[in-house]
Structure 1
Amino acid sequence: MNLGSLPTQRFDAVILDLDNTLVDSQEALVAAFGSWAREYRISPDQLTGRAGWRTRDIVDAAIEKPRRAEALALIDELELTTTEGITAIPGAVEALSALHEVAAVATSSRRPVALARLAAAGLEPPRVMVSGEDVERGKPEPDAFLLAARRLDADPARCLVVEDAPAGVEAAHRAGMSALALTTSTPSADLDAEAVVTDLSEVSFTVGRDGVSITAPGFQLRSEA
């Protein structure tokens, strides 16, 4: 666990990714995209490095233009119906409960898929949700996080993003935000975030008069020499 300097900072809002950040959807994602890839004879190599991308952008990168509409419709159907085994990431319930009105979800998934996965995991969606179809550009562009900040009426410089994918961490930094990364889907060495933890169970959020603070049970911030 490495919280860096985050325990010394205060934030106006916390913007969380969905897949493998709030919900463990890795098996569902692999199953849905595996079926889709076989249908269109797409090799696994063509999907490598796409973690955090919007579904539409994955389709555009892998499918020729004349077939993109049908390919997008199929993967939408597969993602909507492949929800078995989706569970809440450890600590997700507590994080959303603690953050409440200052939390948002910003996901590359389309809204119906995001809502289906939250429901499958037994999580209530927060007041503010930004999904893949809400923005012109997907991660690693900053659009989703900037839109979430606007909807929360928060200064981007005082927002913390919680992510699991390199594209999401990059998007957070492009938005001028700090990033807390989880190693639920990506090795820590590939996550260039201000802080890295295993999952949300390793941190606690507290909303106070001066903003949101983040701590880790049993963790002491090392003083600078």
Structure 2
Amino acid sequence: MFAGRKFAAFLFDMDGTLINSIASAERVWGDWARRHGLDVAAFLPTIHGVRAIETITALALPGVDPGHEADLLLKAEADDLDGIVQIAGAVAFLNSLPPERWAIVTSAPRSLALARMKVAGIPVPAVLVAAEDVSRGKPAPDCFQLGARRLGFDARDCLVFEDAPAGIAAAEAAGASVMVINATHQHPLATQHAAISGYDAIGITVDERGWVALEPQRNAA
């Protein structure tokens, strides 16, 4: 698992990577999809890891204003925080990192991200890149490039933690290394990248420059 590799910083997606918010998101989006006559089962897998406005725009529904609908969905998601929890070991792992060496890069709007993080107990980082901070969402690389730049580094020197295909593609396009989190997947994602189901099995070491390396936790269950 990245044997011998050191990274300037870690960039974390949020939903599905640090927190499990699937039940909440799918309740809200499922209701929205039914109101618009969509096949809910086919539609829900498309919402993860992508900004709401881009998901809705891609549908090209007649008479639907993507910006307005995205705002309605944001309010509904902010009102439904039931069952949102951290991915196993996420909080302890984040707290072990030097605060200037990690960021959260999410497709969620900032207000929703902060609300979900609070419920799940996720610490708020110094750098949080949210949906409104970029003009192009994932799978474009802009968000990860911005997150790395705000930390003072190049994305190519960073490790991205992701769970969704759009986010993985964004990280690849940014030139970053990728760790896939499989915690919320019913079936492990087919990927060429390293993958873990939670954070209990990994720890870190920090060198004299502040660069961070992963190391396995031998006593992990």
What TM-score do you get using the length of structure 2 for normalisation? 0.90
Gaps of 5+ in 2: none
Which stretch of the first structure deviates more once superposed, 38-47 or 113-122?
38-47
Q: Which amino acid aligns with 2:30?
A: G
Partner secondary structure for residue 196 of structure 1:
strand
Residue pair 2:182, 2:189 contacting (<8 A) in 1 also? no
Partner secondary structure for residue 143 of structure 2:
helix
Partner secondary structure for residue 188 of structure 1:
coil
Matches within 5 A, 1:73-84: 73-84=71-82
Matches within 5 A, 1:1-80: 3=1, 6-44=2-40, 45-62=42-59, 63-64=61-62, 66-80=64-78
Distance 1:191 1:65, change over 3 A: farther
Distance 2:39 2:204 in 1: 41
Which stretch of the first structure deviates more once superposed, 91-100 or 36-45?
36-45
Name the structure 2 match of 1:116.
115
Aligned-pair identity in percent equals 34
Distance 1:88 1:46 in 2: 25
Matches within 5 A, 1:39-188: 39-44=35-40, 45-62=42-59, 63-64=61-62, 66-99=64-97, 100-186=99-185, 187-188=187-188
Which stretch of the first structure deviates more once superposed, 108-117 or 200-209?
200-209
Distance 1:19 1:28 in 2: 11
Distance 1:64 1:204, change over 3 A: farther
Distance 2:163 2:189 in 1: 12
Kindly report structure 1 stretches of 4+ aligned residues shifted beyond 4 Å. Answer: none
Distance 1:154 1:206 in 2: 19
Describe the superposition over 1:67-99 as per-residue Cα deviations: whole angstroms up to 9, x where unpaired.
Answer: 323311221111111111111111111121112
Distance 2:53 2:204 in 1: 33
Which stretch of the first structure deviates more once superposed, 36-45 or 152-161?
36-45
Residue pair 1:76, 1:113 contacting (<8 A) in 2 also? yes
Residue pair 1:165, 1:191 contacting (<8 A) in 2 also? no
Describe the superposition over 1:98-145 as per-residue Cα deviations: whole angstroms up to 9, x where unpaired.
Answer: 122211000011111100100110122100000111111111111100
Residue pair 1:96, 1:126 contacting (<8 A) in 2 also? no
Distance 2:102 2:62 in 1: 38
Distance 2:49 2:151 in 1: 22
Partner secondary structure for residue 58 of structure 2:
helix
Distance 2:214 2:67 in 1: 43
